[in-house]
Structure 1
Amino acid sequence: MIRNIVLFLFVILLTGIPSLVADEPIFSPDELYKQAETAMEQSRYEEAYYQFLNASEGYALSGDTDMKRKSLQQAKRINWMFAEMQLNKTSADEIIAATIPVLTPNEREVFLEPGKSIQTESDGETFYFEGIARNIQYHNTTLIRENMRKSGESPFFDQMSPYIGNAENPDNPIYQNHTYTAIGVMSIPREELVENGTLQVWLPLPVATEYQKNISILSVEPSAYVVSGPQTSGNIGEVYLEIPLEEMTGEYVNISTEFSFTTSPRINRINPDDIKAYDTNSPLYQRYTQSQASINVSQEIVKLAHQIVGDETNPYKKAKLIYDYIIDSLPYSNVPHTYIAAMNISESDFVHDTGFGDCGTQSAYFAALCRAVGIPARAPGGYQLFPGYSGTHFWAEFFLPEYGWMPVDVTIAEAGTWAYNATPEQVEEYSEFFFGNMDPYRFTIQTDMDEPFSGEPNPDILFTIVHQNPSLICINSDEDVEMIGMASWTYTFEEQKE
C-alpha cells in the first residue's frame, strides 16, 4: 500500500470529455437545449454535451446570458459525470491486468460485468470508474493484506493499536490533546481565469466543537477582499472573499489561510442499560432522524435497518448492530464523488444500491440506517490527521440522551481487517474502539453532511455535500472555476510539540 493511501473524497481536474468538440449550431438555441434535455433523459450524455455547448453559443449570440449560463451549467454537469468514469471496457481491463497481474483474463472479466464494479452507461457504451483496480484489492482481504505486507506497515492500525489498551500511560498520544497549525493554499494560474469580473471564494475553516477548541485564525489572504467571516462557530467553518480579477496581475491568483486549533480525544464510558428515552419532539431529534440530500432514509434502507436490529430496542445496541453490519458486509471502496454529485445521487443511496462506499458514503449509510430506526445520527467531516496519513475524511455520530453525540468511524475501524501483522484479538480491540470513541487526530470543518455554507444554494456549485475544498464562482467565466479551485487547493498540517 502506498503511503498516501486514499481514504477520502478526491477530485480529478477534467479538461473535457475526450474527443468532444462542439459543432457549429444548426438549430435555434432553444431547440438545441430541448434536444440536449431529451438526450440526457435517454442517457445519451455525449450527444447532450455537444448540444448544451452549441446552445450556449447560440444564446451568447442572441444576448440571452441567463440561458447561456444555464446551458454551460448542464455541460459542466456532464463533465463531472465522466471526470472519474472515463474508462471503456478495454482500458478498464488493461488497468486491472497491470495493477493485479495474478488475475487471469477470465477472472478480470468478472469485474467488468454489470454490478461487479462501478459503471455507467452513455450513448450505448459502458464506462468504468478509474478506481476499479483499487476496489478489487480493497474487496479482497488476501490482496490488501499482501499489499500491506509488502509496504511493511498497516496504516491506521499501526498508529492506533499499540495505544488503545494503554489509557493509563500519561505519554499515550491517543488520550492526549493535540494542537496543530494548518495552512491552506490555493494557487490558480492567472491564465485559467477571465481578465475581468469577481471571483467569489468560500474557504473551509475549523468549526468549534466540544472536541475542537482554541481556534485562532492567523491570516486570510488577500485580506483586503474578505467580505464575511472568518466564521468558526455554528455548524460549519468558513470565510468568504470577493476578488476583483482585473486587479490580479501576477502569474498566479493566490489565496490562503493559516490557523491553529486544538483537538481532544473522545473517550466514552457508556452503560448501555441506562439509556434514557428520546424526546421525539425536540428539534435535534426531528432534524437528525429525517432524510436529507446525502443521508436519504429510503424505504429500502428502512427495511434493511429493521432487519439488522431485529427486536432490539436499546438505541446504543441498535447502533452497534448497524456498525458491525457495515464493517462485516461493506468493504471499503473508492467511489466517484464527482459522478455522484453530478447525478444528484444520495450518498446513502449510492452505497446501498451498489455496495461500494468510502468514508463519506459509509458514514452517510451508517447515519441513514440509524435514522431509519429512530436514532438521531449525522456525518461530520474534515480531515483525518493520523501521523503520516493525513487526508480528507468523514466519520459518523449518533445521539444518546444525557450522553450526547457518540463518535463512530466504520472506515478507520475496517482498516484493522487489512492489517497483515495483527492477531484476531488485536483487530477486535481496534474495531471496538471506534464505536463510541474517537482519536484526537481529527480536523472538523462541518458537523454534518449537507450543512450549507453562506453561498448555497447556487446552481454554479455542484459539490455541496462536503466543504473540505474551497467553492468558487465567477459568473463572467465560461470555465469550470469550481473544479479549477478544487484542483488547486492544498491543506498542510503541522503538530505543535510542547
Structure 2
Amino acid sequence: MVTPSVAAGEPADELDRWIRQGDYAPAEAYLRGQVADPQAPIVDGPAAQLEFLRRTRREYSLTEAELLDQLRESLPDVTQADIQAWTAADDLQHRVIDGEVRYFRRAANNLPRLNADAKRRRDAAAAERAETTPKKFDLLALIREVYAASERTGAVEVCPVRHHVTYALTVMESCDRVVPGAKVRAWLPFPQEYRQQSQVRLLSSTPEVKKVSPNGSPHRTVYFEETIGDDAKPPKFTVEFEFVTAAYCPDLDPADVKPYDTDSDFYREFTAERLPHIALTSDVRELAAEIVGDETNPLRKALRLFTWVSKNITWIGEMEYGAVPSLSLKGLTMRCGDCGVQNISFVTLCRTVGVPARWQSGFGTKPGEENMHDWAEFYVEPWGRLPVDASYGLQKSDDPKVRDFFCGRMDPYRLIVNLDYGRPLIPPKTSLRSEPTDFQRGEIEIDGRNLYFDDWSYDFDVESTPEK
C-alpha cells in the first residue's frame, strides 16, 4: 500500500519528513486537521494516510518489556542485553515511533529465523523441556506420489483431493458500530473453477448469499448484505462449499519451449511494472540480470529465479500488507518476508527478464497446516501458465525433479481464490479495504465504513479427502 498523498506544498513536505522519521504524533495531528468528516468512509487522501499510520502503530506495538516476556516463553535465559544486541543487528524488527523503540508484534517468533544464536538457544531450551515437534505433513512423499501417478497415467492432473469448507466471519461484541438499522456488507472467499481446481459447489450459507462473483474474477467472493436488528446482535456470515483440486504435473522440457509473441497485449501486461508492489527499478533489473546470466530459455530463467528466491529470501511472519509500501521491494532489499513477499519478488524478477508472471493465492490445505497462502504463476509456451511456489521453494532432495517440483508444478492441497492482487471486489467496496492487496480472510463494512481485523474474527474449517 502506498501511503496516500496530501496536497503539495510545505505542510506536505513536512508531513513526509515526520513519517520517515517516525514522528507520528505531529503527522497525525496535521492529518486530522485535513479530514473534513471523520465519520465518513475512509477511501483515500488524509483519512487513508491516518489509517495507514494507525495500522503501522498496531504492527509495531510492543514495548521492550512486553517483547522480553514473549521471548522468555521460548528463550528462558534471554536478557535485556540480548535484546539490545539483536535490536542493533536488526534481527529484532523494530521502529522508533515518537521517540520510543517499538517492536513488531511478531518479532519474537521471527527472531530464530533471522539470528542463528537465538535459534540454537531456542532449540536447546526446547530439548531440555523434552518438547516434541508436531509431525509435519510428508510433502516429499506426496511429490513422489504425484510424479508416479503422472508417469503411470500420462495425465497432467493427478491425485485429486476433495475439499469441504465451512468459512465464517464474526463481528466482535466490542464493535461499537453494531447498532440497530445499520447496513452490513460482507465479502467471503470462494473457489475459482481453474484448471486443476474444479467441481465447485456452494452448499449453504447464513444469511443467504446475495451474489457470487463470476468465475475468473481477480478475487472470487460470495457477497452478503444484512441490516442489524433491534437486538443489535453482532452479525455472523457463514458459507459452506466444496471443490476438488488435483496436483498439476506437466512434463517440462526446456527443449520444447516456444518463443513468446512479445507484441501481444498479454505479454506486455504480464511483463509490465505494476506499482507499488511490482517495482522494476534499476536495482531490481541489475539483480535479475545477474541471477539469470546469459540464459535465454524462459523455463530455465524461471528456475534460476525460483532457486535464488528460495535461497535468499528468508520466510518470516510479515506485517499486514496494508502497512507494507511495496512487497517486492521489501523482499528484494530486506531479503526476508512471508509467502506473499517471496512470491511477488519472484513475479517481479520474472517480469524484469521478460518472463510473464502473475500472483495467485488463497489457502493451503495440507492436513494440520491449513492456513492462508500466496503463490504465483509464470507463463511459458507451449504449456501456458505454470504454477510456482517460491515460498515452498527448493525441496530437500537429491532428485532434481523432487527438489524443483514447485517451479512449474503444484500439489493438490490448495484453495485457489485469487488470480491477481489489489483489484476491486464484486460488488465494489465503499471504503478502504482491511487488506488492500490480497483477499483471503474476507472484508466487511458497516454503513460504508470498513471494519478492520481488530473488529472481527474468521474461522476456516476444511476437510480434505484424497479421491481414489
Matched, 1:262 2:235: no
Identify if the C-alpha distance between structure 1 residues 310 and 112 changes in structure 2 by more than 3 Å, giving closer, same or farther.
Answer: same
Q: Match of 1:205? A: 190
Q: Which amino acid aligns with 1:493?
A: V
Q: 1:406 aligns with which of 386, 390, 403?
A: 386
**Aligned equivalent of 1:160:** 139
Asked if the contact 1:376/1:399 (under 8 Å) is kept, the reply is yes
1:342 aligns with 2:327: no
- The number of aligned residues is 442
Alignment-derived partner of residue 132 in structure 2: 151
Partner residue of 1:397? 377
Counterpart-to-counterpart distance in 2, 1:34 and 1:324: 41
Quick one: distance in 2 between partners of 1:67 and 1:162? 48
How far apart in 2 are the matches of 1:440 and 1:70?
42
Aligned to 1:232: 215
1:277–1:152 CA distance, 2 compared to 1 (3 A): same
Please say which of residues 377-386 and 187-196 is displaced more in the overlay.
Answer: 187-196
**TM-score, normalized by length of structure 2?**
0.83
- The equivalent residue for 2:458 is 489
The equivalent residue for 2:297 is: 314
Q: Secondary structure at the match of 2:58?
A: coil
Per-residue deviation, 1:234: 3.6
Determine if the alignment matches structure 1 residue 351 to structure 2 residue 324: no
Q: Is the 8 A contact 2:365 2:464 kept in 1?
A: no
Task: Report how far residue 496 of structure 1 moved.
Answer: 4.5
Given the alignment of the two structures, is residue 86 of structure 1 paired with residue 61 of structure 2, yes or no?
yes
- Tell me if the contact between 1:87 and 1:129 (Cα under 8 Å) persists in the aligned partners: yes
- The Cα shift of 1:137 comes to 1.6
1:159–1:286 Cα change, 3 Å = same
| Matched letter for residue 211 of structure 1 | Q
* Matches of 1:367 and 1:59, distance apart in 2: 40
Counterpart contact for 1:265–1:440, Cα < 8 Å: yes
SS of 1:452's partner is coil
- Relative to structure 1, the CA distance from residue 103 to residue 154 in structure 2 (aligned partners, 3 Å threshold; closer, same or farther) is farther
* Cα distance between partner residues in 1 of 2:415 and 2:131: 30
SS of the residue 1:290 aligns to: coil
**What amino acid is the match of 2:57?**
F
How far has the Cα of 1:106 moved from its partner?
Answer: 5.0
CA distance in 2, matches of 1:332, 1:179: 29
Is the contact between residue 24 and residue 98 of structure 2 (CA under 8 Å) also seen in structure 1? yes
Q: 1:179 is paired with a residue of what secondary structure? A: strand
Q: Which position in structure 1 is the counterpart of 2:272?
A: 290
Name the counterpart of 2:22: 43
1:134 is matched with 109
Could you report, residue by residue, the CA deviation over 1:408-439 in whole angstroms, capped at 9, with x for unpaired residues? 2122236x56xxxxxx637x665322222111
Aligned to 1:425: 398
Q: Is the 8 A contact 2:92 2:108 kept in 1?
A: no
The answer to whether the Cα contact below 8 Å between 2:202 and 2:241 also exists between their aligned partners in 1 is yes
* Identity score, percent: 22
2:186–2:442 CA contact under 8 A, matched in 1: yes
Distance 2:250 2:51 in 1: 45
SS in structure 2 opposite 1:326? helix
> Out of 218, 242, 245, which is 2:203 matched to?
218
In structure 1, C-alpha distance between the alignment counterparts of 2:196 and 2:292, rounded to whole Å? 30
**Do 1:342 and 1:462's aligned partners in 2 also have CA atoms closer than 8 Å?**
no
2:301 is aligned with 1:332: no
Out of 401, 406, 411, the residue aligned to residue 439 of structure 1 is: 411
The one of 435, 438, 443 aligned to 1:471: 443
Give 1 or 2: higher helix fraction: 1
Rounded to whole Å, the distance in 2 between the matches of 1:68 and 1:259 is 32
Query: Do the aligned partners of residues 67 and 81 (structure 1) sit closer, same or farther apart at CA in structure 2, a change above 3 Å counting?
Result: closer
Q: Distance in 1 between matches of 2:427 and 2:98?
A: 35
- Partner in structure 2 of residue 6 of structure 1: none
**1:187 aligned residue (170, 175, 190):** 170
Q: Trace 1:4-43 onto structure 2 (pairs within 5 A).
A: 39-40=18-19, 43=22
Structure 2 regions of 5+ residues with no counterpart? 1-10
- Using structure 1 for the length normalisation, give the TM-score: 0.78
- The letter for the 1-side match of 2:323 is A
SS at match of 1:411: coil
2:109 partner letter: R
Aligned residue among 256, 268, 291 for 1:274: 256
